[in-house]
Amino acid sequence: MPDFARLSQELDALTGWSVVPVPMLIPDHVFFWHLANRRFPAGNFIRTRDCLDYIEEPDVFHDVFGHVPMLTDPTYADYMQAYGRAGWKAMRHNRLKALGALYWYTVEFGLVIEDGTPKVYGAGIASGPREAVFALESRSPNRIMLNVDRVMRTDYVIDDLQPTYFVIESFADLYHQTVERDFDRLYRALGPGFTYANTAVIDVDDVLHRGTLEYHLRGGRRSGAVPV
Ligand SMILES: [Fe+2]
């Protein structure tokens, strides 16, 4: 098991973040409060062998292997703090679902361009053995450049591989696209539900790869479909 005190000490020296162990999923406002104060809440339990590939509730492996390394990057660390601050505003506007989609498609399942090629930075991809290959190499999923307005209107699946991945140019790109945005205005323009299906490709998209969606068309994980 990781030594949380030592992790926090080393992370603090790099970016001023620390890790706080939590026993389960915590309420949204507590989660945002921790992030806004540069503390990452990490699960202190570990998954069992039967859900080695993916679990919906974040365990210590997901959090410490997936999220914590990203917090050593100063720009990414600032993005995470800004996300925590943005949470309260989303709660006031009753638009948590939209902000949740942004977290999902960046922090959990985001891809970033490095040397001209998409790489994984999302913790949800990095903490399982299968999705990294699917996200980067499969012809099935869409790979689309991140557009914050569009992503916050896009539905997502929590129990299967993603039909669509959103790609950023860099962490600075991610930070500027979000921190410099007028979220009050955006929340007023957003409906209560999602506008776009998680498989959709729309006119404004800057598409890197238009997926065949064959994995999901075959029924995905529940049907026993094998990712291609
Ligand atoms: Fe996570």
Domain of 211, CATH number, reads 1.10.800.10
Indicate whether 201 belongs to any domain: yes
206 contacts 145 by C-beta, under 8 angstroms: yes
Indicate whether 180 belongs to any domain: yes
Q: Are strands 39-43 and 117-120 parallel, antiparallel or unpaired?
A: unpaired
Distance from residue 216's CA to the centre of ligand 1 (Å): 23
Grade residue 106 by pLDDT with cuts at 50, 70 and 90: very high
Mean pLDDT within 80-89: 93
Distance from residue 68's CA to the centre of ligand 1 (Å): 10
Distance from residue 59's CA to the centre of ligand 1 (Å): 9
Indicate whether 37 belongs to any domain: yes
Determine the pLDDT at residue 24.
76
- pLDDT tens digit sequence for 156-183: 988 899 999 999 999 999 999 999 888 9
Grade residue 66 by pLDDT with cuts at 50, 70 and 90: very high
Distance from residue 184's CA to the centre of ligand 1 (Å): 26
Q: Which two tokens stand for residue 203?
A: 């006119």
pTM: 0.93
Indicate whether 228 belongs to any domain: no
Indicate whether 153 belongs to any domain: yes
Cα–Cα separations (whole angstroms), residue 26 to 21, 88, 155: 11, 15, 22
Looking at the structure of the chain, the number of domains it has is 1
- pLDDT tens digit sequence for 199-221: 999 999 999 999 999 999 999 98
Indicate whether 11 belongs to any domain: yes
Domain holding 61, by residue range, is 4-223
Grade residue 227 by pLDDT with cuts at 50, 70 and 90: confident
Mean per-residue pLDDT of the chain: 92
Mean pLDDT within 82-104: 94
Distance (Å, rounded) from C-alpha 17 to C-alpha 209?
35
Mean pLDDT within 53-81: 88
Determine the pLDDT at residue 56.
66
- pLDDT tens digit sequence for 7-57: 999 999 999 999 998 877 789 999 999 999 999 999 876 777 776 666 666
Residue 124, Cβ density class (10 Å: 0-12 exposed, 13-18 middle, ≥19 buried)? buried
Indicate whether 68 belongs to any domain: yes
Distance from residue 108's CA to the centre of ligand 1 (Å): 6
Indicate whether 122 belongs to any domain: yes
Distance from residue 42's CA to the centre of ligand 1 (Å): 9
